[in-house]
Structure 1
Amino acid sequence: MKRIVTYIIICFFAFTRIHGQDRVIRSLRASLFIQKDSIGYTDVLNQLGMQYHLSNTDSCFWYGVEAREVATRIGYRKGIAGALNNLSIFYMLKGNIRQAIEYGYRSLLLYREIGDDENICQLLMNLSIYHAYDNKIPEANNFLYQALDIGKKLPRDSVYSLVLINYAIRFEYDSTKEDSVKWALEGSKAIITKYPGSREKYYIRAFEADEWMRSGDGAKAVKRINELADSALREGLIVVAIDLLEHIDAYNRLGYPADAVPAREKAFELGRRAGYTDLMLPTVISLYRHYVKTGNEQARLYYGNALRELVERRLALKERNHLNHLEYFLTEQELEELQLRNKIQETSLARATLRKKTRTQIIGFLTGMLLLLGGFTIFRYRAYKNLRKQEELLTNINNSIFEKNEQLRVHDDFKNKLIAILARDFRQPLNNIVRVSGLFRNENADRQFMEQVINQAEASSRKTLLVFDNILRWIKSQLSGFVYNPAPCDLHQLYEDALPDTGREGITMKIPEGLMVAGDQEMIRFINRSLLYCAGIRPVHISAMKEEEQVKAVLSYEDSSCTEETAAKLFEYRQGDDMSITLVICKDFMDKMGGHIWAEKEGDTLRLIYALPSFH
């Protein structure tokens, strides 16, 4: 048996089990009679063909043909693909590589149409083996690399393990791919651990024995191979045991003085017992020649009779023309060509008849309808054009009116707010200035009283400047040319910048460094400064945390004068409140940044809270 058989065994058993093969075949044959539909019947036929492919190749061919006929009749593409796969395997076992590749290609195309990635990977691996057997190494490697690329993406990676083992076998003796072979073996080992009953473990351990052989420890390698073969037999893996014993024969050909005769004899007996004698012809020939040289007459007669039986069986099959597989293939090709020609001729005749039958009717009908439809079409077209123009004109007018109304409403709201601020919040500072001017004109005014009034005027003027600054920022954000562009803002640094010049006495801050929000730095800095100013000189606690997709900042302090009702309306304009316009501007800035700001009262504690989107 050539080493190429190793490829075939690993490949064709990707989705089958050897355990109790006769029992499985009996069970499948019995299930044929209880299938409720043709799809299930086709699937069982394909499974039987796969089971028979090494024990009875003619049965494999027969079941493949039957499955293909049923699947073709019912239009079951997956069943056709499975039958073609069985036929491809059969022709490979018969040594007809061209037909094996032909059926393999057809099966691959069908599996690609239905998107069956596992079978696509298996067939790419099969085609790689076929081309390697036909000495087309570049094509074989191309198919193998495609199988590797698909196999690593499969959810059931046991198929990928088989591809990796085939890769290792293909390049086992290529010194330029030693690292790749090791990688493939390690990958297969990792996958095998998920499937304790997998037979791939035997091939992995056989690779280890090959390594021992190459490193000079041949006795250890032979011992390992015999142990693996015995273990495979105990599990009922006869084909695996036969293939493992082939390693000893390979060691002998490489120059190691191993006695390969017992391994050959054992492999032949296993093959005879399992019904695989058709594959054992090279083994029988080598044993017969060995015993002819050694003069062991009894063994020579035994293997000579076995050789004669194999040859007579092949000749008898050929003479009886038991199954003329080549004739089946050629007949199939001719039938497909005839069917295609017949279909083309029928289509041409049908088209010609249809054209001849309908041409007169169509011409008469079109002639009658042409004049009627011509006038109607012209009338409808003119009406449609006029209607479209009117609709477009009306739509443009409505859009223009709506846009202008929106602009007027926004501008009107802004002007109303600005006028209310100027009328209400600047009255007291101007009154203080008038009072100071009157005191300067009164020479008898008390000096201490004048200093008090001047201090009040100074404080009022400072508040007025702050209000002016706030209004200027607000006006800038209300202008039509203003464009808000969110940027990453370090919340901790912005609160540090907002602290008063007197320092952070009485202020505790618990904000993680590097906590970023998406917003405008100037707007956030203004809001932080305004909230700190609102708190006054009281002890203040500042904290911030990330909640899902946003960052929440909380500034809390004791304020017994504020009620829950006042807190709920804290960011609405209130006449006579110096901080009202500032807080309204804070709310407007927060709306522009896509955030929210509000106040909560819990006991004597007032919490000023805002939330902004987190910057990722």
Structure 2
Amino acid sequence: MGAKAQMAEVRKLQQGLPKQTDSLKYVDALNRIGLLLHTKSADSTFFYGIKAKAIAERLEYNKGRAEATVNIAIALTLKGIYNQGLIYYIEGRNLFLKEGLKEPATELLMNIGISYDFMGNNKMAVKFAKEALDEAKHLKRDSAVSMLLVNYVNLDYSLSPKAVTKYLDSAQKIADKYHDDRTILFLKQVKAHDEIVAKKYKEAYNNITSSIKMARAHEWEYHEMEGLYLLAGYYKKRNSIDSAIKNYQTIYTMALKNNYVYWEVEILELLADAYKQKNNTTEQLRLNKLLISALKKSNEANNSFMGDYVKYNQTEQELSKYKNDYAHKREEMIWLIGLLVVIVSISIWLLSLYKKSRKHEKELELLNYKVNLQNDELHHADEFKSRLISMLAHDFRSPLGSAISMMRLVRDDDDLEKDEREMLYNSIETDMQNILLTFDNILQWVKKQMSGFVYQPETLPVNQLLDEAALMFK
């Protein structure tokens, strides 16, 4: 995407921010704007990064937080604050890994390596670059691997020409596979640099001009400036100072237009050096004045940025302290709540035990009552049995004994007259009937005793009952 297209997208995103109702998409838009602006204004990238990060943290949106953190890291790196940039790159990588986003996490390993290279620690730079390549082997998609390979070649100076060719060829195949024009362009420029060093000027020139043509076709002004920078270096190697100056001036014009302050300073220094070779002191003085102005502007921007960063860092530290205090208090609160829950649970348990105990006591009382009731019933039943036996012994034994005696008399006494025998038989019959009647009465009484007393008044023939009772004693 070229500078014009980038700025068009930035303006579109900025205009859409007030209308954005989805908070997560709002964070994504801020991050996209910050990333698009990083080659133009590190300050803007930093501003959008901290704004997006604050919102993402509040929303607990880790992907947005990771992208915002990376934008802050990019801004710090562009400003030369490499140590802090590394911290944010590592934080961003951890957030990506937490969300399972392995591809951007792997790319950040390479960014960390590049940052170490800026700091002059090439050993660490190569270490992280190799780790990035090792992780890239396990990615589902290899589209990001091509740029990793190119960056690795740029970082590891110990690679043999054969190894460099191998890595660049692999990167070329992947870039061609995915039609990754940006990586293809970058490959051309990397190859051109190596070809200039190897004095393969024809091949270098072809790759440089091809990359510039591709950059212009895509309106990638930043990459066009890099191509022009290589072309100027090519002309310097060929001792064509005027051609080198022409390309440096083109870069300077583009840097002024797009406010690339760090490009302004470097190109002015190179132009001054080129005019020095031409012994053009007038142009040297003019360029030195411009350089002083550019350095002043750069320092002012850096000082302003540093002030903003210091404030932001202080705010971050205060926020971190607040979060730690909050976490500590929250932990204490959790412990207190836990203790309260335990106390309440124990109280409920004790209350439950008490209720169970009371219930058990009542059950025992009821059981004792039932046992006592059954004992009373058994006692009454025992009394009833005794009375029944007594009644049976009294009301049946005597009549039966009398009847048996009369039957023996009839059996053994042959001298009895017929009338006497008849009388005895009648007497025995009467006794048997009385016994049967008594048995029926006792049976009725037993039934009433067993079924409980029920009051049922009835009219009885008293005279008849007395006569029947008297007969038992005749």
- When residues 184 and 318 of structure 1 are mapped into structure 2, their CA distance, relative to the original with a 3 A threshold, is closer
1:243 aligns with 2:230: no
More strand by share: 1
CA distance in 2, matches of 1:52, 1:304: 29
Aligned partner (choices 183, 186, 195) of residue 200 of structure 1: 183
Return the index of the structure with the highest Cα Rg: 2
Aligned partner (choices 86, 90, 101) of residue 116 of structure 1: 101
- When residues 309 and 373 of structure 1 are mapped into structure 2, their CA distance, relative to the original with a 3 A threshold, is farther
Give 2:256's aligned residue. 272
Deviation at 1:270, TM superposition (A): 2.4
Aligned partner (choices 332, 335, 341) of residue 348 of structure 1: 332
- When residues 302 and 29 of structure 1 are mapped into structure 2, their CA distance, relative to the original with a 3 A threshold, is farther
- When residues 319 and 248 of structure 1 are mapped into structure 2, their CA distance, relative to the original with a 3 A threshold, is closer
Give 1:325's aligned residue. 309
8 Å Cα contact 1:229/1:245 also seen in 2: yes
CA distance in 1, matches of 2:146, 2:4: 20
**1:253-278 deviation line (CA, Å, top 9, x unaligned):** 8x653533333223222222232133
TM-score normalised to structure 1 length: 0.52
CA distance in 2, matches of 1:284, 1:371: 92
- When residues 371 and 139 of structure 1 are mapped into structure 2, their CA distance, relative to the original with a 3 A threshold, is farther
- When residues 152 and 374 of structure 1 are mapped into structure 2, their CA distance, relative to the original with a 3 A threshold, is farther
Deviation at 1:220, TM superposition (A): 5.1
CA distance in 1, matches of 2:183, 2:221: 14
Deviation at 1:299, TM superposition (A): 3.3
- When residues 299 and 223 of structure 1 are mapped into structure 2, their CA distance, relative to the original with a 3 A threshold, is farther
Give 1:365's aligned residue. 348
Aligned partner (choices 129, 139, 144) of residue 114 of structure 2: 129
Give 1:58's aligned residue. 43
Deviation at 1:316, TM superposition (A): 3.5
Aligned partner (choices 290, 314, 318) of residue 298 of structure 2: 314
For structure 2, which runs of at least 5 residues remain unmatched after alignment?
360-474
**1:344-402 deviation line (CA, Å, top 9, x unaligned):** 034314533663x55654444333445777999xxxxxxxxxxxxxxxxxxxxxxxxxx
**1:541-560 deviation line (CA, Å, top 9, x unaligned):** xxxxxxxxxxxxxxxxxxxx
Deviation at 1:63, TM superposition (A): 0.7
Aligned partner (choices 151, 174, 180) of residue 191 of structure 1: 174
1:158 aligns with 2:143: yes
8 Å Cα contact 2:35/2:45 also seen in 1: yes
CA distance in 1, matches of 2:221, 2:325: 49
1:94 aligns with 2:79: yes
For structure 1, which runs of at least 5 residues remain unmatched after alignment?
1-15, 377-616
1:299 aligns with 2:283: yes
8 Å Cα contact 2:38/2:75 also seen in 1: yes
1:334 aligns with 2:324: no
1:35 aligns with 2:28: no
Give 1:586's aligned residue. none
8 Å Cα contact 1:19/1:235 also seen in 2: no
The aligned length equals 358
- When residues 64 and 369 of structure 1 are mapped into structure 2, their CA distance, relative to the original with a 3 A threshold, is same
Query: Which secondary structure state, in structure 1, belongs to the residue aligned with residue 323 of structure 2?
Result: helix
Deviation at 1:55, TM superposition (A): 0.7
Deviation at 1:32, TM superposition (A): 1.6
CA distance in 1, matches of 2:39, 2:141: 25
CA distance in 2, matches of 1:230, 1:364: 82
Give 1:83's aligned residue. 68
Code of the residue aligned with 2:99 in structure 1: it is I
- When residues 82 and 194 of structure 1 are mapped into structure 2, their CA distance, relative to the original with a 3 A threshold, is same
8 Å Cα contact 1:60/1:86 also seen in 2: yes
Code of the residue aligned with 1:111 in structure 2: it is F
8 Å Cα contact 1:111/1:119 also seen in 2: yes
Code of the residue aligned with 1:128 in structure 2: it is G
More helix by share: 2
Code of the residue aligned with 1:296 in structure 2: it is N
- When residues 305 and 333 of structure 1 are mapped into structure 2, their CA distance, relative to the original with a 3 A threshold, is same
CA distance in 2, matches of 1:127, 1:49: 19
CA distance in 2, matches of 1:370, 1:139: 67
**1:26-77 deviation line (CA, Å, top 9, x unaligned):** 1211222332310111100000000111111111111111111111111111
Give 2:31's aligned residue. 46
8 Å Cα contact 2:212/2:223 also seen in 1: yes
8 Å Cα contact 1:249/1:263 also seen in 2: yes
CA distance in 2, matches of 1:361, 1:205: 73
Code of the residue aligned with 1:91 in structure 2: it is L
CA distance in 2, matches of 1:213, 1:290: 19
Give 1:178's aligned residue. 161
Residue correspondence of structure 1 range 536-547 to structure 2 within 5 A: none
Give 1:282's aligned residue. 266
TM-score normalised to structure 2 length: 0.67
Deviation at 1:83, TM superposition (A): 0.4
- When residues 374 and 118 of structure 1 are mapped into structure 2, their CA distance, relative to the original with a 3 A threshold, is farther
**1:441-497 deviation line (CA, Å, top 9, x unaligned):** xxxxxxxxxxxxxxxxxxxxxxxxxxxxxxxxxxxxxxxxxxxxxxxxxxxxxxxxx
CA distance in 2, matches of 1:54, 1:83: 16
Residue correspondence of structure 1 range 392-411 to structure 2 within 5 A: none
Code of the residue aligned with 1:342 in structure 2: it is Y
Deviation at 1:114, TM superposition (A): 0.8
CA distance in 2, matches of 1:122, 1:214: 28
8 Å Cα contact 1:81/1:111 also seen in 2: yes
Identity %: 23
